[in-house]
Structure 1
Amino acid sequence: MKLLRFIILNILILATFLSCSTESVDLSNTTDSLDTSEVYEKLDILYGSSANQTIDLYLPANRNSNTKTVILVHGGGWTSGDKSSMNYLKDLIQLEIPNIAIVNINYRLADSNNPPYPMQIDDITNVVNFLKSNKERYSISDKIGFIGVSAGGHLSLLWSYAFDINSNVNMVCSIVGPTNFTDPVYLNNSNPELQPLIDAFEPNPTIAFLEEISPFHQVTPNAPSTILFYGGQDPLVPTSQGTNLRDRLIALNVNHQFTLYSNEGHGWTGLNLLDTWTKLKVFLINNL
């Protein structure tokens, strides 16, 4: 069975590089009814005025008002990336957990004039509000989960811990996402590859600001169930980013799961990727 899943996983990952879609449609003002007995998919739905404020929506067949939604948030150091990089996860969820809705999001990318925070958090808020305003038309619940990778992991954790004012988030997953910008490894950084990522938020930030944008400092006992995956040889996100948040979740008695792949870097393939999906799938089923 593990071999079969490994083969399927790699086929799906390959498919993400061989396929693309150019469909673009704004459904924000559409009111026509949808057949809930059928699968419904639309790409590049606008949720704001920027070209980067788009989502891909995947609704399962036989959905109803109890159908929950998982939101996928791509990485790219807050300054680059695209939702297409998350298509392999979308494919796996559709294949193995076909009864949940999926929203794969793009968000405005940061540059020298537009820092990631609060811009990208505002974009996630807009996505959540868009889903809420359309939940009757789409026949979905207002209960959601997040899966984020790298910068997307950071955004997913931060929004879930600090901005989910209506307690809609049931679970959040971070795969190699930064969690604490007051970590001494970041404050005393000497890695030239890493520094531009740190400076993306603010060149000379205060400690108070760094705490404001750090999930580690924003998490509370009411945080949603959290699953974390990190690499022990990651040059961008040191191990302490995962282990310190894990310890904080333990202290706060927050339901969580933590996996450290000691020999992996900022992402992995093969059997460890299969292990990540196997654990994430069970966590999604049990907590979303």
Structure 2
Amino acid sequence: MRPIKLAFVLCCIAIGVISCSTDSSNNTGSLAYTQHINVSYGNDSDQKFDIYLPANRTIETKVLILIHGGGWSSGDKSDMNGFRDIIRQDLANVAIVNMNYRLADANNNPYPMQINDITTVINHLKSNQDEYVISDDFGFIGVSAGAHLSLLWSYGFDTTNNIKMVCSIVGPTNFTDPAYLNNTNPELQDILDLYGVNPTTTFLEEVSPYHRATTSSPPTILFYGGQDPLIPTTQGTDMRDKLQSLGVTHQFTLYPDAGHGWIGLELIDTWNKLKLFTQAHLN
């Protein structure tokens, strides 16, 4: 949940350098690939997103929203560029939104501020469907704190059922987990304290995807590391078991020897599973 220079970003296949704005043309009359960088959706400097619109898109084109990590208090959308690139390569018909959100500090709590930012971006995309030529079917890929936000918004704030799938990579799911409440890790506690010192159980449940999941929650794919110093294994296994009990479509992968991120064969396995899951549920 700290600023994460995950191997996901470093090892995803690059597909070339992309300029800050592109509107290619072709001779077929169909829509060209277009991208818009640093689109403002609010007055804060962090309220910006990048949108990548595939060629030949239609009003049926689905949208993947990328949410970066960083312990709710740091990080940047550029941390998700590796995902952006491999999605453009392997899921070429999907539009991509890579968003920043306002970062928490001593004067600004992450909740509900960051959830409100996601809501604003979703509403912007829905209001500008005709301009972008996209559908209002969305999926999330989030890493660490971004995975928590992705799950929380999908389970607790998607009142119109626009989210068709959500992916959590090393995301916190349950702030009432004894592994969090009884932890002795000062670094971890500093991060958790962003959600309040001695918060009530009711509040912790409100900000926990585990407690917000319902039978109508969208298909969910989860990835966790067995040696993660910030995300106890129970954050993943308990979420898996809750989704199972609710009858929610889900997949769960635990890499026993991995920490807060991984490389090599585990990374390849993550992308292969995530790609197939996305193709199955965001289609």
Q: What TM-score comes out, normalization by structure 2 length? A: 0.91
Where structure 1 has 5 or more consecutive residues not aligned to the other structure, the ranges are 1-8, 25-34
1:124 corresponds to which of 115, 118, 121: 118
* SS class of match (2:277): helix
Query: How far is the alpha carbon of 1:20 from its aligned partner?
Result: 8.4
Q: Does 1:199 align with 2:193?
A: yes
The whole-number CA distance in structure 1 between the counterparts of 2:30 and 2:191 is 43
Query: How far is the alpha carbon of 1:283 from its aligned partner?
Result: 0.3
* SS class of match (1:80): coil
Q: Match for residue 251 of structure 1?
A: 245
Following superposition of structure 1 onto structure 2, how do residues 171-182 of structure 1 map, counting pairs within 5 Å? 171-182=165-176
The whole-number CA distance in structure 1 between the counterparts of 2:18 and 2:101 is 19
The whole-number CA distance in structure 2 between the counterparts of 1:54 and 1:225 is 27
Query: How far is the alpha carbon of 1:165 from its aligned partner?
Result: 0.5
**Counterpart residue identity of residue 11, structure 2:** N
Deviation track 1:239-287 (CA, whole Å, cap 9, x = no partner) reads 0000000000000000000000000000111110110000000000000
The whole-number CA distance in structure 1 between the counterparts of 2:166 and 2:48 is 21
Deviation track 1:62-92 (CA, whole Å, cap 9, x = no partner) reads 0001000000000000000000010000100
Q: Match for residue 226 of structure 1?
A: 220
Q: Does 1:63 align with 2:57?
A: yes
Give yes or no for contact 2:12–2:83 (8 Å, CA) kept in 1: no
Q: Match for residue 207 of structure 2?
A: 213
Query: How far is the alpha carbon of 1:203 from its aligned partner?
Result: 1.3
Query: How far is the alpha carbon of 1:211 from its aligned partner?
Result: 0.2
Following superposition of structure 1 onto structure 2, how do residues 45-64 of structure 1 map, counting pairs within 5 Å? 45-64=39-58
Q: Match for residue 5 of structure 1?
A: none
Q: Match for residue 113 of structure 1?
A: 107
Q: Does 1:10 align with 2:11?
A: yes
Q: Match for residue 130 of structure 2?
A: 136
The whole-number CA distance in structure 1 between the counterparts of 2:61 and 2:165 is 15
1:183 corresponds to which of 177, 202, 217: 177
The whole-number CA distance in structure 2 between the counterparts of 1:245 and 1:36 is 43
Where structure 2 has 5 or more consecutive residues not aligned to the other structure, the ranges are 1-9, 22-28
1:272 corresponds to which of 252, 266, 269: 266
* SS class of match (2:121): helix
**Counterpart residue identity of residue 132, structure 1:** K
Query: How far is the alpha carbon of 1:12 from its aligned partner?
Result: 2.9
Query: How far is the alpha carbon of 1:148 from its aligned partner?
Result: 0.1
The whole-number CA distance in structure 1 between the counterparts of 2:40 and 2:201 is 36
The share of aligned pairs that are identical, in percent, is 60
The whole-number CA distance in structure 1 between the counterparts of 2:84 and 2:30 is 20
2:146 corresponds to which of 142, 146, 152: 152
Give yes or no for contact 2:12–2:86 (8 Å, CA) kept in 1: no
The whole-number CA distance in structure 2 between the counterparts of 1:197 and 1:214 is 15
The whole-number CA distance in structure 2 between the counterparts of 1:79 and 1:174 is 18
1:163 corresponds to which of 150, 153, 157: 157
- Cα–Cα, structure 1 residues 271 and 108, in superposed 2: closer, same or farther, change >3 Å? same
- Cα–Cα, structure 1 residues 43 and 253, in superposed 2: closer, same or farther, change >3 Å? same
Query: In the comparison of the two structures, how many residue pairs are matched?
Result: 267
* SS class of match (1:194): helix
Q: What TM-score comes out, normalization by structure 1 length? A: 0.90
Q: Match for residue 71 of structure 2?
A: 77
Query: How far is the alpha carbon of 1:185 from its aligned partner?
Result: 0.7
Query: How far is the alpha carbon of 1:193 from its aligned partner?
Result: 1.7
The whole-number CA distance in structure 1 between the counterparts of 2:179 and 2:166 is 25
* SS class of match (1:145): strand
Following superposition of structure 1 onto structure 2, how do residues 14-33 of structure 1 map, counting pairs within 5 Å? 23=20
Q: Match for residue 80 of structure 2?
A: 86
